[in-house]
Amino acid sequence: MQYKIEGNNILLTDAQYFDPEATLCSGQVFRFSKKDGVWCIISGDKIAKISTIAPQNYKIVTNDAKFFVNYFDFNTNYATIINRLSKTNTLLPALRFGQGVRLLNQPVVETIISFIISANNNIPRIQKTINNICMHFGKNCDGYYAFPTLNELSKITKQDFINFGCGYRADYLVDTIKKLNTTFDVEELKTLDTNSAREKLKTLKGVGPKVADCILLFGLGKRDVFPVDTWIEKVYLQDFCGKPTNRKNITNFFVDKFKDLSGYAQQYVFYYKRKDVHLIKEK
């Protein structure tokens, strides 16, 4: 894949390892939509619109091209990653099916809040809730609303969160936002090793092991994590012939197997399994 920046636009050619649908619909992000064949993504106060020019050729119109080059991980060689993961036979159909999936590099606070909201929730409701929060408390950016800053988030009450559809998560959000604004050093997370960052994240209300691993993977660029939910449990039991166990052991199994490529492997199998396609058995 090659990309070229022209002003605030990004032109992609031979983008075999980038597919907007596969990337955006793989459970990593919630502020996106598609209209008339154009994908729209909002992150923080940034916006990008992706149009297909020809097969594997895209134009991304943005208000910050450098931000979205990093956001879409365009400087990482996914051909090499897929080649390394291909040594595990079980992954081959998932790698072929979802080779356009890329791991996103998202703002940390937005990732924390979004994944607290996502716990035990469905994607349409998550999207509606986050969009309501942005519309009521985010900056109006001439046609779209930014994700609220920490200062703006601190003005949201428990009842506001309930009205936006957060349910029992409202308490978690109010408490976590207060902590993020006072005693919790978000920047410190970026300096910690994966295990230390995970334990620090778990001190936030509403952040359990799975949510913490999602924040590590999508907000902090920690690729040696493997978030486990019901879909990944199915992969473990059905496709890797695992025995019933707890999610911590399942996470350890996959991280021991895939090491620094764990996060990439997780996204490929997660996207594939949710499409209800069955992986072949590992030999």
Instruction: Tell me the catalytic residues.
Output: 210
Tokens of 28: 């990593």
Give whole-number Cα distances, 18 to 51, 79, 184, 218, in Å.
13, 11, 35, 17
Report long-range pairs for 82-87 (Cβ below 8 Å, ≥24 apart): 82/17, 84/261, 85/258, 85/261, 85/264, 85/265, 85/268
Cα separation, 176 vs 163, whole angstroms: 18
Question: Amino acid identity, residue 135?
Answer: M
Tokens of 5: 């920046």
Tokens of 254: 């996959």
Other beta carbons within 10 angstroms of residue 7's beta carbon come to 8
- Give the per-residue SS3 of 1-57: CEEEEECCEEEEECCCCCCHHHHHCCCCCCCEEEECCEEEEEECCEEEEEEEEECCE
